[in-house]
Amino acid sequence: MLNQEDPVCEKIIELYEELLKHDGFGKMSLEINILKRGQKEVIIHCGKQYRFVVDHPGKLENQKTG
C-alpha cells in the first residue's frame, strides 16, 4: 500500500532525517482529513505545514473490485 516514491512518504522521510540530524529538540505530527470525491488531505506539521491531497486507497480498491 505504501509507495516509497509517494511524495508524502518522501517528505516524511526527509523531515524525519532532518530531525534526527538536528542538535536539539524536534517535533513532527501528522493529520489526515477526509475530503470529498474519495480523497484525503494529509498535513505534516514540522515547523511548517506541508499539505498533500491524495486519493483514498480504500475507495480505489472498492472501485476496482466493484
pLDDT in tens, 2-61: 665 699 999 999 999 999 999 999 999 999 999 988 899 999 999 999 999 999 777 555
33 lies in some domain: yes
Is residue 15 within 8 A of residue 28, CB to CB? The reply is: yes
Question: Would residue 1 count as lying in a domain?
Answer: no
**pLDDT score, position 42:** 96
pTM summary value: 0.77
User: Which grid cell sits at 32?
Assistant: 489526515
Q: 2 in a domain, yes or no?
A: no
* In contact, 51 and 42? CB cutoff 8 Å: yes
Q: Which residues constitute the domain of residue 26? A: 7-65
Q: Is residue 21 part of a domain?
A: yes
Number of domains, the chain: 1
